[in-house]
A and B are shown apart, each in its own frame.
Chain A
């Protein structure tokens, strides 16, 4: 079967090559990223988008500055509501905690609402190893679970697949008759998932935001699967990154507003499910047990370094949709749970196993579209620059890069060397260009990465400074005066 999937464990270079060479993947990305970016712009300009972003940023900065206090407040309020709070330092701690909770409650089947935090810690694999059946219930997640793939986008996990491929998966896995009608495909999934909801013992979800003052965990969905995962099974477990909290109910709705508009261009999502605690006496539904797992997994270290700003992230995916790099290669080529600009920034800090993670900060032209789209105004280009500096300082840059940059710095470090290099470059490049009729069609070594697909002009025969000197003959300029007298 033709697929749009890239193997995450391959080296970065191969992943990118595979992605660029995958016509289906690029068709799928073309169909959706531009549309999603356009919807966001429309939704953000329908309100005072700048004000909304400023307010979100202010609120998230407050959260980060007061993280310890707010987390303790959240622990108190959840506990007071009858829920249980667990602290997980690493991904394996989440695995251990959830397996323990599941075993204690004699859980056989788990239904899951979409959650990047559980992807990050590979929770599904841990539960399956412990003998439990795990069913993803977000439609996109369900599709890629059937296909045996990780998500390739923060909010649109199956964005890398065309409808044609999705239909193939359903025909194979669910005996769906051949069709490309999205309504039919959805109803097949709906029928299959309904049975899973009704027979599940445990529901697991992430958390779009938790409200510290009330102990409320909120999940934003459009399919209703979140509501069924949080209310139908006996046990409900929320796994959330420690930064996903807001101080007050008012703040929650600020974040909700920014999230919906930025993620999908909606004014509000179809569902907003809020869980305060387990079922109380007299309640007609809700879980008997309610657990919240607070996950660090490198987030505290991000605060200690210069990357704490990244904890303002709402996980809306807006930066992916506008990123010209993501648009060409999709999420899997990043090799991480988190892709796109935000993924390139947080993947080196979050404790994830990513092949060639130090290549990710370089997977950007630093065009700044991400920062413009970010509802929390995260300065992603700045952090990418600083991460590149870290790569170099830690000695992880390729030797060729180091040597050429040292040579560059030396050559540019004096006027004499600069002018000599220019002269040499002019002579050499004009010989090269002369051979191919005006433009350079081939350059040696790593520079071939340019000329394999693009021409390069020769250096000018007479540089600006030479022409200027001639023009100024008889005159004297400030800069040259001192030197030449």
Chain B
């Protein structure tokens, strides 16, 4: 989908495609997304009929099972855009945006009517950072982060949507953030949907490599744009007892992430060998 919708005047209202993972696992990411959009004068509507875009089924070969979900998604969101009730659809996920705006074209290949509607919808569907930077023209959202921050480029976001400059620009503008580079920042974390289960061993090996690179970067937090990769990376960091955590970029941009000043390694008392409790674990969900 290279031909994205162009706006004559700034979009005033968008539909939030929150994604099922954010809805069920990370509502705070959804709330942060809403906050960012509203802060820039964009009204957010949430079509409550939405569930999942069907990617898990599509991705594992079950296209027959994925198609009803794709049609359902199109039926929910496309009329909103078509009838100009919203100017665009925004999702805090590169992967789910890829699914709905790219892979639906493959999935619905033999259903021309739905395919056309999906293409129309896809052109108006934006990943959050893409929407903020490319559509709203915002890079400085007034966020502050006290600590060392690095960035992990999620695969679908980077290589399917070609979005990289936008999240980096947003992070660049975060006041106080000490941005550090990470080796292999654009290498897969090993999540890959059901790949993480079906090929758990390979997936873990890839994730461990990522976790090592995160440790070497000495960052306090890894910002990224997909909660699926975030779940995988945090699953490893947590299991390994690492201090650093992956966080969704919307959380960084809304100051949800608070990393306590990090003690120098020689100050760490031997009894505090267990990983210190982190902001994310502490956060009461909901």
List A residues at the B interface (Cβ < 8 Å).
Answer: 16-17, 20, 324-325, 328-329, 361-369, 371-372, 382, 385-393, 397, 401-402, 405-406, 408-409, 412-415, 418, 422, 425-426, 438-439, 446-447, 449-450, 452-469, 472, 477-480, 483
Contacts and interface: CB of A to CB of B under 8 A. Distances in A.
Contacts of B206: 324-325, 328, 365
- Interface of B: prevailing SS: helix
A457 B50 CA distance: 23
Interface in B205-250: 205-207, 209, 231-232, 234-236, 238-239
B54 interface: yes
Given A20-B202, A328-B205, A455 B239 contact: yes
B66 interface: yes
A138 B106 CA distance: 42
Interface stretch (B25-33, B113-121, B129-137, B255-263): B25-33
A425 B204 CA distance: 24
Most chain-B CB neighbours within 10 Å: which of A418, A446, A452, A461?
A418
B202 A425 contact: no
Nearest to B210: A324
Nearest to B160: A368
Contacts of A366: 59, 155, 192-193, 195
A363 B188 contact: no
A469 B48 CA distance: 9
B63 A16 contact: no
Interface string B59-89: 1111111101100100010001000011000
A460 to B, nearest CB: 4
A427 to B, nearest CB: 12
A294 B72 CA distance: 49
Nearest to A462: B286
Contacts of A324: 187-188, 190, 206, 209
Contacts of A387: 61
Contact of A483 (B49, B80, B191): B49
Given A363-B202, A382-B106, A483-B49, A446 B56 contact: no
Given A367-B192, A450-B235, A479-B15, A459 B24 contact: yes
B243 to A, nearest CB: 14
Contact of A391 (B45, B61, B187, B196): B61
B281 interface: yes
Contacts of A457: 25, 231, 234-235
A16 B198 CA distance: 12
A248 B183 CA distance: 42
A385 B56 contact: no
Given A362-B198, A369-B187, A477-B46, A439 B205 contact: no
B181 interface: no
Interface of B: 15, 18, 20, 22-27, 30-31, 34, 45-52, 54, 56-66, 68-69, 72, 76, 80, 85-86, 103, 106, 155-156, 158-160, 187-188, 190-207, 209, 231-232, 234-236, 238-239, 281, 284-286
A483 B50 CA distance: 12
B195 A364 contact: yes
B23 A413 contact: no
A385 B54 CA distance: 14
Given A20-B202, A369-B188, A477-B46, A409 B27 contact: no
B65 A480 contact: no
Contacts of A405: 56-57, 60, 62, 65
B184 to A, nearest CB: 9
A453 B204 contact: yes
13 contacts: A329-B202, A367-B155, A418-B51, A453-B236, A453-B239, A454-B207, A457-B25, A457-B231, A458-B285, A463-B286, A464-B23, A465-B46, A479-B80
Given A368-B160, A454-B239, A455-B238, A468 B30 contact: yes
Contact of B48 (A361, A372, A382, A483): A483
B120 to A, nearest CB: 18
Contacts of B63: 389, 392-393
A458 B234 CA distance: 13
A426 B235 CA distance: 18
A122 to B, nearest CB: 28
B62 A16 contact: no
Nearest to A368: B159
B128 to A, nearest CB: 14
A387 to B, nearest CB: 8
A17 B202 CA distance: 9
B237 to A, nearest CB: 9
Q: Which 6 residue pairs spanning A and B have beta carbons closest together?
A: A479-B47, A365-B192, A462-B286, A388-B61, A454-B235, A449-B200
